[in-house]
Amino acid sequence: MHDDRSLVEGRLKRVLDERIRPAVYPESVPLDIAVWTAPGEPVPVEEGLAGPAEPIAAGDRWGAPWGTSWFRVSGTVPERWAGRTVEALLDLGFDENMPGFQCEGLVYRPDGTPVKGLNPRNQWVRIGAPVAGGEEVLLHIEAASNPVILDYHPFLPTTLGDKATAGTEPQYTLARMDLAVFDETVWQLVQDLEVLGELMAELPVDGARRWEILRAISGALDAVDLQDVNGTAAAARERLAGVLATPAPSTAHRISAVGHAHIDSAWLWPLRETVRKVARTTANMTALLEDEPEFVFAMSQAQQFAWIKEHRPEVYAKVKKAVAEGRFVPAGGMWVESDTNMPGSEAMARQFVHGKRFFLDEFGIENDEAWLPDTFGFAAGLPQIIKAAGSKWLLTQKISWSKINKFPHHTFRWEGIDGTRIFTHFPPVDTYNCAMTGAQIAHAARNFKEKGVARHSLAPTGWGDGGGGTTREMVAKAARLRGLEGSATVEWETPGAFFAKAEAEYPNPPVWVGELYLELHRATLTSQAKTKQGNRRSEHLLREAELWAATAAVRTGAPYPYERLDRIWKTVLLHQFHDILPGSSIAWVHREAARTYAGVAEELNEIIDGAQRALAGDPAGSTTLLFNSAPHARGGVAAGGAGPATGGGGAEVLPREDGGYVLSNGLLEVEIDARGLVVSVYDISAERETVAPGEAANLLQIHPDFPNQWDAWDVDEFYRNTVTDLTGLDELTPVEGTDAASVRLVRTFGASKVTQLLTLAPGVKRLDIDTEVDWHETEKFLKAAFPLDVHAERYASETQFGHVYRATHTNTSWEAAKFEACNHRFVHLEEPGWGVALVNDSTYGHDVTRTVRTSDAGTTTTVRVSLLRAPRFPDPETDQGVHRFRHALAPGASIGDAVREGYRINLPERAVTGDTEVAPLVTVDNDAVVVSALKLADDGSGDLVVRLYESTGGRAKVRVGLGFEATGLEATDLLERPLRDAGPVEGEERPETRERPELTDGAVRLSLRPFELITLRLTRG
């Protein structure tokens, strides 16, 4: 037989495009259209419905950037359509290739009841099936004219990302607004042909099944009368029935389809628009659930449920009903789909606390899975947090975006820094926007790495990023793929049902140890420095507020601000969303975030000040009390306590022979040369130099920064090829009038200016570096380099509840790929017996490299902290303006010292005048054990909650002393629920069980594994 594949395939495409798809709506009549444009921000529904609408017609322009237009469409169903299915086709001017990225609408009835959302892949509203004829139709559309930021030529700088700079030019041309007859038989034929055509293209050319489908399609096209598609569609479908009925074998790959609409809580749109995106999508999905009995939809992010509850209660009522039926599934158990690299320990824990508690309170649902399809890599402390929140599974897809190394598993156990293992799945479909195309389903089956030992994978199905969700076309395709020869089988299932099956069939999968590093989007650790700084400072202010409010409540009976802290935590958690904290959102988002963080700081400082004044006693007292919020004693003040500071020693600034200055305090001697560079940091007791021979530390370096794509997200390795050392000096002067030894230096470069204060305080082995940058560069990357005379093959970076080790070398492509990585408060490297810590108050990105000394071939190690970038997309003004950073170099530091110094720089003492010293509520007798949170229980019971963890990576015995009367003790999960039966420690081979803690003589004695976190709940007497 002659090979006529290309002939039939070409015929199928043209007949579908030009004859069959247009015949889905064989008759139509135009609707009358009027519009009212709301001034300013979106208005309540009742105001939009009542707005003074004026006529508008298809072909007219509408919609200034970020505006809201209320369309009113009206008409009459023709009498001749009686008995037929009729739909309204409402095209706001959509580009079908941009679902979620352009204009959208929410349709209402005249009484304000929401009907469904409109987007480029979902433009229809059912009027009747069947209609009687003569019905009057009146619908209202709340249409958002969101501008297209990410266009066909992506990453072009645009001012459209901020309402203040976007202008008023209309963005869209109103298209079809019609009543139309819907021919379901033709629509079903379209689905038949698309499924078979797409499957055929994926099958081997020499396989019989491909040719069987080809012949069936050819026969179906023969049965179609191109002049009467509607009259012959049924006959064409009959020609396809046989090939559609051929079942898949039992060995076929099995896909659990989960209805999904990944909605970024902010990205190329502001937070207020996400509120409406969620309403549109959930209105669509609840309607689809009513029409499709097998369909299941899952939505993560408790914040998005809370938005609907607050802003669209009518939609929320439908959501709650569908949740109760088990078909609309709250997934993930987190407040938002957050970044997981940068949030601190407590913030990462609270993502689960607030997310899971919302789902429990609202729906009575406990999530077993963490759901993070789009997060930019996963910190190694996360498995323990997931387990401590009462969950046991993780889903993500993003690691498939890695550019250098292909991850070796799709289903595996992920082991965190403490040994906790979490059953994890990466969908091999390689997208969180699966549309049920043949190519996607075939790719999932081919790509699945566990062939031969497992057969189940998951496909998040529906348009996402900007929302939209699953369409009726996707549901129809899934129905045909439920058991179709040549394809993986598809079944709608909840995430929990999938994970239960996957874990049961593959009980002993391979184990991946350590972070899940995304080999892409590394620059998100640095972009939008003010957002990152706002996050870090908010986290530590929340620690202080909880600590002192709880202490004041116990010591003085002061009221504890439960509701305020709950609200502020949720605000901070929202801004950890994986396009806000990483700095990859439009200008509007980050300008708004700056205002929000300022408000958060003001309110938290008010709470802290009130609690400390209540504790300090008489403000007319003669004592200046220092409140120490850090988890370690300092200045003679206990951790979590307040008292007069004690100090000693001195520091001096001396001129240096060859220019510059020497700072000395008896512990360190720091030489700053005439260029203002640190050329020596000598540890006097260790008789050890810190700075690599012939090198200079605190060296500012600038690189060109123009990645191949994803400007705010990416830094490509070639940026290192060109570097400029900033050694020009405008000013170098000693600072007088303080106990510390300090010098001030000023540099200018390009259009920018840097002012630094280098300080050696009395009695400490630490060089403090305060940096102010007035930054006005474009597409540049600013770093500060610290070449250290340390031979180290690995270094430690702080992460949640511990630290992770990374190689300093690039032996493998996996190590080479980590050329920019994340740390929290410190980076630490050491040789046996001596180490160095570099700590910070608000930066995350860094790189570490090794160099061989020319003099004696000894190895040195350079740590560079990333300070600022200047990408132009999606915010063309990224990072412009004044920034302030604090870093400190601590020679001779152990890992424990690094932990201590990291907390110190982020939690400065507060001075309050009073007459009453404050004893800590809780003390620990082992510095390796850190109290990460001290607060009153969220349920308002007055119980005290203490969370602590082992911070150095070793085993630790600790006595937790209580500075108050306690009558009861429970170890709890993160949600402060008792762990009644602590069974075998998951991830450890030893069979022992963890002992339940006991309260004896006003103290609790604990034995902690490396990096283990424990939450204690204490009942007050």
pLDDT digits (tens, 9 = 90+) for 281-314: 999 999 999 999 999 999 999 999 999 999 999 9
Distance (Å, rounded) from C-alpha 90 to C-alpha 67?
Answer: 18
Identify the three-state secondary structure at position 29. strand
CA distances (Å), origin 257, targets 296, 457, 458, 475, 978? 8, 9, 6, 10, 35
Distance (Å, rounded) from C-alpha 872 to C-alpha 879?
Answer: 10
Identify the three-state secondary structure at position 356. helix
Distance (Å, rounded) from C-alpha 820 to C-alpha 798?
Answer: 15
**What's residue 1's pLDDT?**
67
Query: At residue 7, does pLDDT exceed 80?
Result: yes
**What's residue 986's pLDDT?**
41
Scanning the structure block, which residue is given the tokens 């708004």? 592
**What's residue 993's pLDDT?**
45
> CB-side exposure of 627: number of CA atoms within 13 Å?
24
Q: How confident is the model at residue 981 (pLDDT cuts 50, 70, 90)?
A: very low
**What's residue 984's pLDDT?**
40
Residue 801: Cβ within 10 Å count? 30
CA distances (Å), origin 877, targets 22, 268, 304? 46, 15, 29
**What's residue 980's pLDDT?**
65
DSSP 927: T
For 24-66, the pLDDT digits (tens) are 999 999 999 999 999 999 999 999 999 999 999 999 999 999 9
Q: Is the omega angle on the peptide bond into residue 978 within 30 degrees of 0, that is, cis?
A: no
DSSP 791: -
Identify the three-state secondary structure at position 274. helix
**What's residue 449's pLDDT?**
98
pTM of this structure: 0.97
Residue 600: Cβ within 10 Å count? 22
Active-site residue, selected from the candidate residues 91, 374, 465, 875: 374
Ramachandran region of residue 387, left (φ > 0), alpha (ψ -120 to 50) or beta? alpha
For 608-659, the pLDDT digits (tens) are 999 999 999 988 878 899 999 999 999 999 999 999 988 778 999 999 999 9
Q: Return the structure tokens found at 775.
A: 């930054």
* Burial classification of residue 102, based on how many CB atoms lie within 10 Å of its CB (0-12 exposed, 13-18 middle, 19 or more buried): buried
Query: Strand 1003-1008's sheet: what is its strand order?
Result: 922-924, 956-962, 1003-1008, 999-1000
**What's residue 622's pLDDT?**
81
- Name every residue whose Cβ is closer than 8 Å to that of residue 461 and which is 6 or more positions away in sequence: 257, 258, 259, 260, 434, 435, 436, 470, 474, 478
Distance (Å, rounded) from C-alpha 457 to C-alpha 253?
Answer: 8
* Burial classification of residue 968, based on how many CB atoms lie within 10 Å of its CB (0-12 exposed, 13-18 middle, 19 or more buried): exposed
> CB-side exposure of 114: number of CA atoms within 13 Å?
30
For 958-980, the pLDDT digits (tens) are 999 999 999 999 999 999 999 96
Query: Across the strands, what pairs with 88?
Result: 125, 179
- Name every residue whose Cβ is closer than 8 Å to that of residue 679 and which is 6 or more positions away in sequence: 671, 672, 673, 691, 695, 696, 697
Query: At residue 707, does pLDDT exceed 50?
Result: yes
Is residue 374 part of the annotated active site? The answer reads yes
* DSSP letters spanning 159-197: STTSTTTS-S---EE---EEEEE--HHHHHHHHHHHHHH
For 661-695, the pLDDT digits (tens) are 999 999 999 999 999 999 999 999 999 999 999 99
| First-residue to last-residue Cα distance in the chain | 90
* DSSP letters spanning 194-262: HHHHHHHHHS-TTSHHHHHHHHHHHHHHHH--TT-HHHHHHHHHHHHHHHHHPPPPTTS-EEEEEE---
Residue 1: Cβ within 10 Å count? 5
Scanning the structure block, which residue is given the tokens 């009453």? 916
Identify the three-state secondary structure at position 451. coil
Query: At residue 985, does pLDDT exceed 50?
Result: no
Angle between helices 271-291 and 313-324 (to 10 degrees): 50
Scanning the structure block, which residue is given the tokens 């204490």? 1018
Question: Residue 855 in contact with residue 814, Cβ under 8 Å?
Answer: no
Average pLDDT score over residue span 904-913: 97
**What's residue 846's pLDDT?**
98
Distance (Å, rounded) from C-alpha 378 to C-alpha 503?
Answer: 21
Query: At residue 509, does pLDDT exceed 50?
Result: yes
For 815-845, the pLDDT digits (tens) are 999 999 999 999 999 999 999 999 999 999 9
Distance (Å, rounded) from C-alpha 863 to C-alpha 848?
Answer: 5
For 220-274, the pLDDT digits (tens) are 999 999 999 999 999 999 999 999 999 999 999 999 999 999 999 999 999 999 9
Number of residues written out for the chain = 1021
